[in-house]
Amino acid sequence: MVSRSASVLAVLGIAALLGACVEEKPAPTPTAKTAKSASPPVPTLSSSETQDAGAQTAKQDVKDAGAAPIVDGPLIGALFLQTPVMSDMEWPKEERKPGDRTGSVRLGYIRQGSRVPVIPEPHVKSNCKEGWYELVQGGFVCGKYASLDLNHPRLKLAPHAPTPTSSLPYEYGYNVTNGTPLYRTIPSREDRMKIEPWLAPRKAKPRRDDDAVANSDDLDAGAARSASSSDPSADDGGVPWYLRDYDGGKPQVTLDDLKGEGPVARRMVKGFYLALDHDFSSNGAKWWKTTGGLIAPFERIYVNKSISEFHGVWLDTAEQAPVDPNAANANAANALDGGSSPAPKAIENMCKAGSKAQVGIILHYKAKKYSVSASKKAVTTGDAAPRHTVVRLTGESVNVNGAIYDETDEGWWMKASEGAKTKPTEPPRDLKPGEKWIDVNVTNDTLVAYEGDKAVFATAVSTGKRDDKNPDKDHKTPTGTWRIREKHIAATMDGDVASDGPYSIEDVPWIMYFNGSYALHGAFWHNNFGRKQSHGCVNLAPQDAKALFGWTEPRMPDGWHGVWSTPEKLGTRVVVHE
């Protein structure tokens, strides 16, 4: 197998940044020297973790994961979680210097089960004895990692394709306890009782008087005391970390400590998230199969149904109005006096640098709509302004008794202290006419997308948490100008954080990497947009992330799961500033 460091240097050119938002785990793409012995690419799990996972679920009544799209002509299916698509029928150089335009490069990848149009004639070469296949969309895949046989077992056992009609590509589950195992295969009942000792029925202890207990040499009593110790460094009598009591705290373990052996691929810390493929029953128990091919006990996973419905506003047409998340219930379309709303005011210079005409986002739970007197010296409180209401601000503002109020195009006024406003910087000087770019303000936690100098979309985001006094807790998002380097429909993010311990979120959605391991991506695990929340990445609400994922460059070919920018197809520029 190609070493992880070699893969990063040769294929992706990514430096893993300590303290960044994620520790990215790229698939090991073969190089020119190692193609003959290279293992099939797997994104976040080793081959040993996934080789048997799901094999015992093949008989379950599961909808075919890689159902062929309606396409005229031959298709080829991806056999592994990351089947690389190369620019030529070659593997990349062992060492590739920045800016080097010679040789084959990775264009993207196809996830196991996906099927894409192909020219079915193989081109057999020494670096791929199964033959290279040219994709109709561009690029080449090696027959070692893909198949024209659409009934191949690995295609039948693949996770389901990303859900096209949802704001999230998959369903997600929260691990509710420390030590939950992820199995490679379905364990026998006997093995499971050993691996999950909490499943054993508790024995009733005989009643004894205080003296008998005090003088007892019962070994179980000592073991019980060790298991409930709140100090993981104390003498625990060999009690595993996941059976100790941390009194509400987190165990001091690392991701390496969680690696398993035998039927267990690894264990999880409470709070880890899994991407769920489907549930099934076997050996008298119910299970979840993950999109990574592993198996989790059903009762240990809480399905996350509470997904943020917040989203920003498209500004490029007059018909697209700002979004009030509770408009139906709050009757936000009505004016303060209960009558019908006036027509929105026309606004010039919306979201331009230095303009007062910006987009506002209500952040307070108890925010109100206000009316300002004709004299601009008095304010009247009106109806509630639901949290995460998005409004256009006309640029008119007043100061009444030390409080700033901004006029909305609906006629009511937003109190500045109850929300946030976009505040973009100047466009890049070398911007081409109509070129797409993204402005991220880490002070206000806002984002504006542009085509040239025209704002087309605005929303609230969550950037990195800051702590100037404690470097271990300082996760500020770096400022600068970059281009989107690569995009993934979903990929796992995990890491060891000195202040918080390990974290792992499987198949984080709609990832757009722009600087090392810093990315724009969807966040389904919180609804704190407009406030700092992340480990350094720019968190977007799921609907916003999906929309921007489709809007940004490089574009994702249909059926692919990841795509890289190239010198010929540059990624969208991202400008991050205070």
Strand segments, DSSP code E, in 176-294 are 180-183, 264-268, 273-282, 285-290
Please give the Cα distance from 137 to 146 (Å, whole number).
15
Please give the Cα distance from 66 to 149 (Å, whole number).
12
Please name the residue that has the structure tokens 């026309």: 346
Cis preceding linkage at 263, omega within 30: no
Report H helices in 334-447: none
Structure tokens at 376: 């601009």
Spatial contact of 94 and 129, defined as CB atoms under 8 Å apart: no
Query: Active site includes 521?
Result: yes
Q: Is 8 helix (H, G, I), strand (E, B) or coil?
A: helix
Spatial contact of 89 and 27, defined as CB atoms under 8 Å apart: no
Please give the Cα distance from 159 to 172 (Å, whole number).
14
CA 435 to the chain's CA centroid: 26
Say which of 475, 521, 535, 561 is annotated catalytic. Answer: 521
Structure tokens at 211: 């003296």
Q: Is 416 helix (H, G, I), strand (E, B) or coil?
A: helix
Can you give the three-state secondary structure of 386-407, one letter per residue?
CCCCEEEEEEEEEEECCEEEEE
CB atoms near residue 334 (< 10 Å): 14
**Encoded amino acid at 378, one letter:** A
Can you give the three-state secondary structure of 307-330, one letter per residue?
CCCCCCEECCCCCCCCCCCCHHHH
Query: Active site includes 128?
Result: no
Sheet containing 413-415: give its strands across. Answer: 379-384, 368-372, 413-415, 403-408, 390-400, 359-362, 419-421
The length of the chain in residues reads 578
Say which of 21, 388, 537, 561 is annotated catalytic. Answer: 537
Q: Cα dihedral sign for 148, 561, 572, 25?
A: negative
Spatial contact of 449 and 457, defined as CB atoms under 8 Å apart: yes
Structure tokens at 324: 């009030």
Structure tokens at 379: 């304010």
Spatial contact of 458 and 464, defined as CB atoms under 8 Å apart: no
Please give the Cα distance from 3 to 26 (Å, whole number).
11
CB atoms near residue 294 (< 10 Å): 24
Angle at CA of residue 565, ends 560 and 570, nearest 5°: 130
Spatial contact of 265 and 182, defined as CB atoms under 8 Å apart: yes
Cis preceding linkage at 554, omega within 30: yes
Which of the 8 DSSP states describes residue 7?
Answer: H
Q: Write down the number of H helices and E strands in the chain.
A: 8, 32
Spatial contact of 344 and 381, defined as CB atoms under 8 Å apart: no
Catalytic positions, written as ranges: 521, 537
